[in-house]
Structure 1
Amino acid sequence: MTLGFTLGELFSGPGGMALGAHLAARETGTALKHGWANDYDESTVATYIANIPGATEESVICRDVRSLEIDSLPHIDGFAFGFPCNDYSLVGENRGLKGEFGPLFSYGVRVLERHQPEWFVAENVSGLRTSNGGDDFKLILDAISNAGPGYKITPHLYRFEDYGVPQRRHRIIVVGVRDDVPVDFRVPAPTHPDRAHWTSAAEALAGIPTYASNHEATRQSPTVVRRLELIDPGENAFNAKRMTEELRLNVKGATLSQIYKRLHPDRPSYTITGSGGGGTHGYHWAEPRALTNRERARLQTFPDEFKFIGRKENVRRQVGMAVPPRGAFHIFRALFRSFQGVQYSSVPANLSVSGTPLAPLQDVDA
């Protein structure tokens, strides 16, 4: 008998989580059906509809989650939600649950309460673990584990470069299985467990085909070009050894190491972000320019056939805010194998169900 689930998703973004789930379903022989999804941005919703199997204008709802009629959504067996991370990021004010976006996880809890899916996968930034001294994370874990009939949860800080993503991107993923379901999820073992096995930026960006969309170059000002020419691979605007006083940035209190940081071709990229002004767009190691959106998508492991819809800056935000499909694939594959009773290589979770580290963590995105 084929294992099958209908998937619902809040804060779906362009579909990185969903794509990873569908790829994992295909490999494991799981019948995964799109049920519904929600995001507040029109272009992001259009991207999801254009790329995710089964998604339609009716099933992908473009609306602020705070006005979404959760109780009237169709039944689902599985649920994914990468609730907004703005207030938990290591960069910025880190307002946590007191911020505008911090409380939005509660809408995921409402889905669990109302629809009681057999499993869920929740994603957020590594900064969630320390927000408000760790109290926010404990509150969130308590809420989702006690939602509806209750869930067995497995929180873990994933370093996606350890799973073949050519980018140092560290995210907390919480997998939950409903208490009455006799399935135990285990964290999948890394497939690229050390620096020697990591996928480099040069490998990721090689051979982009002419048919790939979203590959338009950004026009750089002469000043930016001159500045980038003085920054060596892996350096940024503040630690560049060859930087001149004329082109040195005078930004008081600047600590963001990604400002005009050029990729190193032999290492994974630093974390690709979806927001930020000049100097935060990601920069090529050999050419004095910002990365194209297709190059950013490559670093996020989106296939070249995946077409992003929207204006260039909107697409940059979509790419940067997404869950890397390859990272999601490994988690969903482990989840589906758990339901199938198939053994797979695993590692102990590094976070407890109360959110405290079970082992030393290296969780700074760089």
Structure 2
Amino acid sequence: MEFKKGELFCGPGGLSLGAQRPLIVSNTGEEFKVTHEWANDIDENTLETFKRNISKKNIIPGDVREIDLTSLPDIDALAFGFPCNDYSIVGETKGMDGEYGPLYSYGVKVIELQNPDWFIAENVGGLQSANEGQAFLKILEDMENAGKYGYNLTPHLYKFEEYGIPQARHRIIIVGIRKDKSLEFKVPKPTHVGRSSWKTSKQAIENPPINEDAFNHDFTRHNSKVVEMLAHIPQGGNAWSDEIPEHLRLNVKGAKLSNIYKRLHPDLPAYTVTGSGGGGTHMYHYDNCRALTNRERARLQTFPDDFEFIGGKESVRKQIGMAVPPDAAEIIIEAILKTFAEIEYDWIEPKWKGRVAELLEKKKKKATKSTLEHQIEAELISKQ
């Protein structure tokens, strides 16, 4: 079976690249795969990157709030990594009260219109605690009840370093399968559990070496003070390290974000690659006193070196940071295809199995606000 996939908020194509790789053959010889049908994003450079590397077919530019969802081509699968700005712990965490918080609802609207066989939705781990947990429950409730048939949901907090990704990137991914399919998606079992099995930032960047003329491999020119400060920051350390002489320290009041001028540790996965932030947030090399190049960041995100990002340096940095790592997408999409092909694979219990359904049911029965908030806090907002 060929699942024609549509994607909102497609970014440069990390999820699509991972989705197009698996080809699963059932015990009866039927093939299961994912093909591109349409994609949407608001950013012009991002869409040019998608067209360069994934497909030029049915590329739909613009704000999702302004496009005609009823005119979208028919699909069998939907992906939407709805914007995380209002759910990230690095920020004001406005959740549903922010400008971007309600954008997940446009994915739900597409589900209502098209009733795809399955969908995959992705967001940051901070989603579980936004609006005191209410936003997460609202999103799950809307997804479960969407469309003509409704969906069986499997929400899980994936720690990508446990799947061989050279980055401690933790993301909530919700897989929904139409209830009339009578199938249950199971979270694929981690393959790299424990520090000794993690893929390190050094392995990702140096094995194999990056060609000097590789796409997006431009180096940043730093002023002498930044270079001198970086020389005093140990591997894995940041701008607040005690080793930095007083005259080189940043004059910052208030919160001191841990990723400011933070250097990678060569023996550990990278910290989370991000696409926003000013000076000092560009990720810094473990050996050399400089920021990473965009190609090095792309390596940490598991993009191949022949994947060419289009746009200026900061635009490319944003695209890379906001993307789903293709290798992570491949693992999850392969598990979805195996589910439909009814092929067994190793799996683990999802983070919220049973408790989400229970809480949603109590919400439907109009549980008191105080009781519901207590349950949400106890069950969904545990710190990772």
Structure 1 length-normalised TM: 0.94
Q: Distance in 2 between matches of 1:362 and 1:162?
A: 18
Q: Which SS does the other structure have where 2:22 is aligned?
A: helix
Q: Which amino acid aligns with 1:344?
A: Y
Moved more, 112-121 or 252-261: 252-261
**Alignment partner, residue 219 of structure 1:** 221
**Alignment partner, residue 165 of structure 1:** 165
Q: Which amino acid aligns with 2:111?
A: L
In the alignment of these two chains, the number of paired residues is 357
Please give the per-residue CA displacement for 1:121-152, whole angstroms capped at 9, x wherever unaligned. Answer: 00000000001110000000000110012000
Q: Distance in 2 between matches of 1:5 and 1:79?
A: 9
- Give the deviation of 1:241 after TM superposition: 2.6
Q: Which amino acid aligns with 1:323?
A: V
- Give the deviation of 1:27 after TM superposition: 8.9
**Alignment partner, residue 290 of structure 1:** 291
- Give the deviation of 1:26 after TM superposition: 7.2
**Alignment partner, residue 116 of structure 1:** 115
Q: Distance in 1 between matches of 2:33 and 2:344?
A: 19
Q: Which SS does the other structure have where 1:337 is aligned?
A: helix
**Alignment partner, residue 14 of structure 1:** 12
Q: Distance in 1 between matches of 2:130 and 2:25?
A: 37
Please give the per-residue CA displacement for 1:14-38, whole angstroms capped at 9, x wherever unaligned. Answer: 0111111111247995332211000
- Give the deviation of 1:195 after TM superposition: 1.1
1:99-114 superposed matches below 5 A: 99-114=98-113
Please give the per-residue CA displacement for 1:172-199, whole angstroms capped at 9, x wherever unaligned. Answer: 0000000111221100000111111100
* 1:143 maps onto 2:142 in alignment: yes
Q: Distance in 1 between matches of 2:3 and 2:382?
A: 33
Please give the per-residue CA displacement for 1:208-239, whole angstroms capped at 9, x wherever unaligned. Answer: 1345200000111111111101101000001x
User: 1:95/1:360 Cα in 2 relative to 1: closer, same or farther (>3 Å)?
Assistant: closer
User: 1:346/1:360 Cα in 2 relative to 1: closer, same or farther (>3 Å)?
Assistant: farther
Is the contact between residue 161 and residue 168 of structure 2 (CA under 8 Å) also seen in structure 1? Answer: yes
Q: Which amino acid aligns with 1:205?
A: I
Q: Distance in 2 between matches of 1:255 and 1:182?
A: 49
- Give the deviation of 1:40 after TM superposition: 0.4
User: 1:91/1:30 Cα in 2 relative to 1: closer, same or farther (>3 Å)?
Assistant: same
Match of 1:232 among 229, 234, 237: 234
**Alignment partner, residue 367 of structure 2:** none
1:13-162 superposed matches below 5 A: 13-25=11-23, 29-52=31-54, 55-56=55-56, 59-148=58-147, 149-162=149-162
Q: Distance in 2 between matches of 1:197 and 1:233?
A: 20
Q: Distance in 1 between matches of 2:256 and 2:170?
A: 19
User: 1:329/1:27 Cα in 2 relative to 1: closer, same or farther (>3 Å)?
Assistant: farther
1:245-324 superposed matches below 5 A: 245-324=246-325
Q: Distance in 1 between matches of 2:383 and 2:93?
A: 19
Q: Which SS does the other structure have where 1:175 is aligned?
A: strand
* Structure exhibiting the larger radius of gyration computed from Cα positions: 2
Give identity over the alignment, percent.
53
Q: Distance in 1 between matches of 2:307 and 2:383?
A: 32
Q: Distance in 2 between matches of 1:343 and 1:11?
A: 31
Q: Which amino acid aligns with 1:41?
A: D
Q: Which amino acid aligns with 1:259?
A: I
Is the contact between residue 25 and residue 341 of structure 2 (CA under 8 Å) also seen in structure 1? Answer: no
Is the contact between residue 13 and residue 45 of structure 1 (CA under 8 Å) also seen in structure 2? Answer: yes
Q: Distance in 1 between matches of 2:333 and 2:79?
A: 10
Q: Which amino acid aligns with 2:187?
A: V
Q: Distance in 1 between matches of 2:46 and 2:73?
A: 22
Is the contact between residue 350 and residue 359 of structure 1 (CA under 8 Å) also seen in structure 2? Answer: no
Is the contact between residue 349 and residue 358 of structure 1 (CA under 8 Å) also seen in structure 2? Answer: no
User: 1:360/1:104 Cα in 2 relative to 1: closer, same or farther (>3 Å)?
Assistant: closer
Q: Distance in 2 between matches of 1:341 and 1:212?
A: 41
- Give the deviation of 1:359 after TM superposition: 9.4
User: 1:26/1:7 Cα in 2 relative to 1: closer, same or farther (>3 Å)?
Assistant: same
Q: Which SS does the other structure have where 2:6 is aligned?
A: strand
Q: Which amino acid aligns with 2:316?
A: V
Q: Which amino acid aligns with 1:168?
A: A
Q: Distance in 2 between matches of 1:216 and 1:26?
A: 38
Please give the per-residue CA displacement for 1:93-133, whole angstroms capped at 9, x wherever unaligned. Answer: 00000100001001000000001100000000000000111
Q: Distance in 1 between matches of 2:212 and 2:24?
A: 28
Q: Distance in 2 between matches of 1:130 and 1:292?
A: 33
Q: Which amino acid aligns with 1:184?
A: E
Q: Distance in 1 between matches of 2:138 and 2:183?
A: 25
Q: Distance in 2 between matches of 1:126 and 1:25?
A: 30
Q: Which amino acid aligns with 1:34?
A: H
